[in-house]
Amino acid sequence: MDTKEKNLENDIESYLLSHGYVKGEGVILIIYDDVFELACPKDIVVERENKYGLVNYQGEILLPLIYDSLRMDGNARLVRVERNHEWGCIDLNLI
């Protein structure tokens, strides 16, 4: 593989990894339907099958994919969540 092909391969892998795909055992696995980066640099909202959750950049799940809606409240690390038409707030500093 020449340098141009290797650079293209690295660019594709970087793009996939930055859009919610996880590399494992030499394979890139698709684990989310969509990924939303936030202004708060620690967290990423992820969506799968119309349910939302929150992960960090190490791929650790902070909030499971069980919420119908998930909204961050600025840099306060406060998350507004909706599940089964009920709303609540979660302080990420406490988890």
The answer on 78 and 48 residing in a single domain is: yes
pLDDT at 46: 82
Q: Taking 50 as the threshold, does the pLDDT of residue 28 lie above it?
A: no
Our CA dihedral for 58, 62, 64, 66, rounded to 10 degrees, sits at -130
Better-scored residue on pLDDT, 22 or 34: 34
Q: Give the domain range for residue 38.
A: 32-95
pLDDT at 73: 74
The answer on 23 and 39 residing in a single domain is: no
The answer on 62 and 21 residing in a single domain is: no
Give the three-class secondary structure for 42.
coil
First to last CA, the chain: 46
Q: Taking 90 as the threshold, does the pLDDT of residue 8 lie above it?
A: no
Give the pLDDT confidence of 37-89 residue by residue, as tens digits: 665 567 778 888 899 988 876 777 889 999 999 987 766 778 899 999 999 99
The answer on 75 and 39 residing in a single domain is: yes
